[in-house]
């Protein structure tokens, strides 16, 4: 009897697996025949990020040559819809799926810019948190750090690309350094609130312009950010409270273990 039970066990398991496969196939065929009656759109993004809304997503979903609502779920090319949405410059990712009740779910994640780069010729673009270049939107301006000065970056005309890509376009720009500095500032509550502008000077070095005090803060080539900002934090916490914020025109963090400050109306800053 025990031998019979042991011999029947694999058969039962096999029948169970076969039955489950048949049931899944039936459910899949049934779902494919279900007409889509509802479009559920969700747009995700950081606080205050409004590059794309539900109406714009709806238009992108519907623009595929056939009616989506009313069509059988199996006749709607989900991969094509996802690809179309991901090709929108401000969209970081998109997920589309349908369920048994006839709802087509569309989830869109917006890109979150960390800096807006203003080229010397007046063109501009954003770089998002993941290092992707994206064009500006004529109807919406993100409140982020602004990079200006001696900048000649091709991002405004080159579409969406990664500033860390291993290609000639990315290697010919300074967008990776701008992104790295902007990301560092954004992740720190104090610096994100204090620093308003990043400037590339004529020597190709980076300067910061704070919202208060109007100093120019030199950070050099953008390396050793942790050490340089640690010195600046110490200076603000111990040096600035003892003096007027407007006293200094220039704060130089480029040198090891020291901060060089230039007062206003000095020979170097008349």
Q: Which domains does the chain have, with CATH numbers?
A: 38-110 (3.10.20), 113-263 (3.40.50.11690)
Report the distance separating Cα 119 and Cα 217, nearest Å: 21
**Choice among 22-31, 102-111, 144-153 with the minimum mean pLDDT:** 22-31
* 246-251 long-range contacts, CB within 8 A, separation 24+: 246/213, 246/214, 248/213, 248/215, 249/214, 249/215, 249/216, 250/215, 250/216, 250/217, 250/218, 251/215, 251/216, 251/217, 251/218
Confidence at 75, pLDDT banded by 50, 70, 90: confident
Confidence at 115, pLDDT banded by 50, 70, 90: very high
Report the distance separating Cα 58 and Cα 63, nearest Å: 9
Confidence at 241, pLDDT banded by 50, 70, 90: low
153, 175 contact by CB (below 8 A): yes
- 11 pLDDT higher than 70: no
Please state the pTM of the whole predicted model.
Answer: 0.81
**Choice among 21-30, 142-151, 153-162, 194-203 with the minimum mean pLDDT:** 21-30
> Quick one: pLDDT at residue 64?
63
């Amino acid at each position: 009897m025990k031998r019979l039970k042991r011999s029947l066990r694999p058969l039962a398991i096999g029948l169970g697996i076969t039955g489950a496969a048949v049931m899944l196939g039936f459910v899949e065929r049934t779902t494919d025949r279900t007409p889509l009656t509802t479009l559920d759109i969700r747009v995700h993004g950081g606080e205050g990020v409004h590059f794309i809304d539900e109406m714009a997503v709806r238009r992108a979903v519907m623009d595929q040559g056939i009616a989506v609502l009313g069509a059988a779920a199996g006749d709607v090319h989900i991969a094509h819809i996802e690809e179309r949405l991901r090709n929108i410059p401000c969209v970081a990712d998109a997920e589309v799926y349908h369920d048994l009740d006839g709802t087509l779910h569309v989830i869109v994640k917006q890109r979150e810019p960390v800096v807006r780069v203003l080229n010397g010729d007046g063109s501009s673009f954003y770089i998002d948190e993941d290092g992707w270049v994206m064009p500006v939107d004529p109807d919406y301006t993100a409140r982020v750090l602004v990079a200006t000065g001696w900048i000649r970056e091709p991002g405004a005309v080159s579409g969406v690309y990664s500033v860390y890509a291993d290609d000639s376009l990315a290697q010919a720009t300074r967008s990776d350094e701008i992104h790295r500095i902007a990301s560092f500032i954004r992740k720190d509550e104090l610096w994100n609130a204090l620093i308003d502008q990043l400037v590339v000077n004529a020597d190709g070095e980076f300067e910061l312009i704070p919202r208060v005090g109007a100093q120019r803060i030199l950070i050099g080539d953008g390396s050793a950010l942790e050490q340089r900002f640690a010195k600046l934090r110490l200076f603000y916490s111990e040096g600035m409270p003892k003096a007027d914020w407007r006293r200094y025109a220039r704060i130089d963090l480029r040198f090891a273990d020291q901060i060089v400050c230039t007062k206003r109306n000095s020979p170097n800053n008349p």
